[in-house]
A and B are shown apart, each in its own frame.
Chain A
């Protein structure tokens, strides 16, 4: 296990470097002078332009700029937002709470709903329950998250008035976004849980468990569900990307002050240091979470460690 851990950790380093290089180059791949792009169509004095250029460090050689950027990032200095001059790290940090809360809640929704739907439809296979559950799942796979979110707002906030429309703070502002975000992932999960449970139901050890007179609920809980959990872990790992892009959209729809919304707003405002910082941060979190998923998978399934 330790050896595997070390190997995975070492493999992360080139990824991190490449990501940082990409994020750094982003600013320089923009056609034209980043400082001029920043001002867009508004008139600007050459002095102000030069000032912004210096602020961005554009007057120095590219390689020096990259190492500066990397060194800064390692020290936690991601530069300052062009618009309001607050440190980028500060901006990102103030948004983490909201995003983490949403991600966690959505994760619970996705896991609970996906496992429930998948299990029910597998145990009641070829009945109307199965058909209905899979229809819900199919809808979830095909539904754009921003539309689901808008519909939830319309029904539960505007018509029924149960939840506030937007914002952050308090559980009642969390329910709708978490459901919208979790539902889409739960659909994929439900389909996979269904097929893996169906597969397990035919395994000899399940037949054995039944034939020794174990009650059906116990068979399901001890023998079937346990194996279905491996599928859950795998899919949740694979769903991270979906969850992430969903979070960017969900935060925008519900106007939650999270990292995803920060990123979109920064792109629209052409605040490049802020875009770089936010992208770097999200990529880092993504890589770390991926690592944790991989490790927990290796822990659950010893065969992986010896590959």
Chain B
């Protein structure tokens, strides 16, 4: 929560502009006026990290949303209808799972070109098979329940049963998986940006910040240290949130 708040309130928390260049203040070490120092163009590193939080958190959320939008319908259809559709879709999922995520992401970026949105798309698509798998398993378990039979007996259409009776069952595991997925997606997108395949400077995305800092490691350790700590803090808190949600949503683990 604090994470999201700082991201939203970024402009209020800092007197500096994330993109304002100030050559007189270049490469200043951390001090009271610049808590995390300044970069090679005199920009305040703390400000850039704060504004970067918006980009990075949003990147994580959008990537996971893409993964869910692809994975959930896939798993739903596959689990509900079974038969040929299931076999074909699951083959596809298996195939995507045998193909390492990073390669798939790299291939997608090679096709679409390096850019932040393409990086989100790449991360989202390569994560989607996992969601498909989980939803399918949940659907298979829910399908044989009595309430589904009851719904069918009252004359519900397949679409209605799927959306109103089965989909709600998949919400809990998807929330847990999605939360943990945001953490993974932030790291993955930052990694792509770091490699120059995602967000490009001067955008203050965290991976891009680290990539900028790489060449100044010798003279300005703060340019690398603090964005990295920001990523770690964000990922750690999201992971803990995901673990907590899993414990809260899964009655089996509570016992």
Q: List residues of A whose CB falls within 8 A of some B CB.
A: 14-15, 18-19, 22-23, 26, 29-31, 138-139, 141-147, 150-151, 153-154, 158, 240-241, 244-245, 248-249, 252-253, 263-264, 267-268, 272, 275, 279, 282-283, 286-287, 290
Is B248 part of the contact surface with A, judged by Cβ < 8 Å?
A: no
Q: Which residue of B lies closest to A291 (CB)?
A: B98
A-B contact pairs, 14 of them (CB 8 A): A142-B232, A143-B228, A144-B190, A146-B191, A147-B227, A150-B210, A150-B228, A151-B224, A154-B224, A245-B101, A245-B102, A249-B194, A263-B106, A283-B103
Query: Which of A143, A240, A249 meets B232, CB within 8 Å?
Result: A143
**Given A146-B194, A279-B107, does the pair A241, B102 have CB atoms closer than 8 Å?**
yes
By a CB distance below 8 angstroms, the chain A residues around B224 are 147, 150-151, 154
Q: How far is the CB of A288 from chain B (nearest CB, A)?
A: 11
Q: Indicate if the CB atoms of A248 and B102 lie closer than 8 Å.
A: yes
Interface of chain A: mostly helix, strand, loop or mixed:
helix
Query: Which of B100, B112, B213 meets A244, CB within 8 Å?
Result: B100
- Could you tell me the distance between the alpha carbons of A249 and B105 in the complex, rounded to whole angstroms? 13
Q: Indicate if the CB atoms of A268 and B114 lie closer than 8 Å.
A: yes
Q: Indicate if the CB atoms of B196 and A241 lie closer than 8 Å.
A: no
Is B183 part of the contact surface with A, judged by Cβ < 8 Å?
A: yes
The stretch that binds A, out of B17-25, B42-50, B139-147, B214-222, is: B214-222
- Could you tell me the distance between the alpha carbons of A61 and B125 in the complex, rounded to whole angstroms? 29
Q: Indicate if the CB atoms of A150 and B102 lie closer than 8 Å.
A: no
Interface size classification for chain B:
35 or more
Q: Indicate if the CB atoms of B111 and A30 lie closer than 8 Å.
A: yes
Q: Indicate if the CB atoms of A142 and B194 lie closer than 8 Å.
A: no
Q: Which 8 residue pairs are nearest across A and B when measured between Cβ atoms?
A: A147-B228, A245-B102, A142-B236, A142-B235, A241-B100, A267-B110, A146-B194, A150-B224
Q: Indicate if the CB atoms of A267 and B114 lie closer than 8 Å.
A: yes
Q: Which residue of B lies closest to A249 (CB)?
A: B191
By a CB distance below 8 angstroms, the chain B residues around A286 are 98-100, 103
- Could you tell me the distance between the alpha carbons of A141 and B232 in the complex, rounded to whole angstroms? 9
Q: Which residue of B lies closest to A270 (CB)?
A: B110
Q: Indicate if the CB atoms of B236 and A138 lie closer than 8 Å.
A: yes
Q: Which residue of B lies closest to A138 (CB)?
A: B236
Q: Indicate if the CB atoms of A287 and B102 lie closer than 8 Å.
A: no
Is B68 part of the contact surface with A, judged by Cβ < 8 Å?
A: no
Query: Which of B109, B197, B231 meets A144, CB within 8 Å?
Result: B231
Q: Indicate if the CB atoms of A241 and B101 lie closer than 8 Å.
A: yes
By a CB distance below 8 angstroms, the chain B residues around A23 are 107
Q: Indicate if the CB atoms of B99 and A19 lie closer than 8 Å.
A: yes
Q: How far is the CB of B35 from chain A (nearest CB, A)?
A: 19
- Could you tell me the distance between the alpha carbons of A30 and B231 in the complex, rounded to whole angstroms? 32
Q: Indicate if the CB atoms of B111 and A26 lie closer than 8 Å.
A: yes
Interface residues of B in 138-190 (CB under 8 A from A): 183, 187-188, 190
Is B95 part of the contact surface with A, judged by Cβ < 8 Å?
A: yes
- Could you tell me the distance between the alpha carbons of A18 and B107 in the complex, rounded to whole angstroms? 14
Q: How far is the CB of A291 from chain B (nearest CB, A)?
A: 10
Q: How far is the CB of B251 from chain A (nearest CB, A)?
A: 20
Q: Mark B204-217, 1 if CB is under 8 A from A, else 0.
A: 00010010011001
- Could you tell me the distance between the alpha carbons of A26 and B112 in the complex, rounded to whole angstroms? 10
Q: How far is the CB of A112 from chain B (nearest CB, A)?
A: 24
- Could you tell me the distance between the alpha carbons of A305 and B224 in the complex, rounded to whole angstroms? 49
Q: Indicate if the CB atoms of B101 and A267 lie closer than 8 Å.
A: no
Q: Indicate if the CB atoms of B103 and A282 lie closer than 8 Å.
A: yes
- Could you tell me the distance between the alpha carbons of A78 and B84 in the complex, rounded to whole angstroms? 36
Is B6 part of the contact surface with A, judged by Cβ < 8 Å?
A: no
Q: Other CB < 8 Å A-B pairs besides A15-B98, A147-B228, A244-B102, 5 of them?
A: A26-B111, A154-B221, A154-B224, A154-B225, A279-B106
- Could you tell me the distance between the alpha carbons of A143 and B103 in the complex, rounded to whole angstroms? 21
**Given A154-B221, A268-B196, A287-B98, does the pair A144, B107 have CB atoms closer than 8 Å?**
no
Q: Indicate if the CB atoms of B195 and A144 lie closer than 8 Å.
A: no
Is B239 part of the contact surface with A, judged by Cβ < 8 Å?
A: yes
By a CB distance below 8 angstroms, the chain B residues around A249 are 191, 194-195
- Could you tell me the distance between the alpha carbons of A147 and B206 in the complex, rounded to whole angstroms? 11
Q: Indicate if the CB atoms of A154 and B195 lie closer than 8 Å.
A: no
Interface residues of B in 72-103 (CB under 8 A from A): 95, 98-103
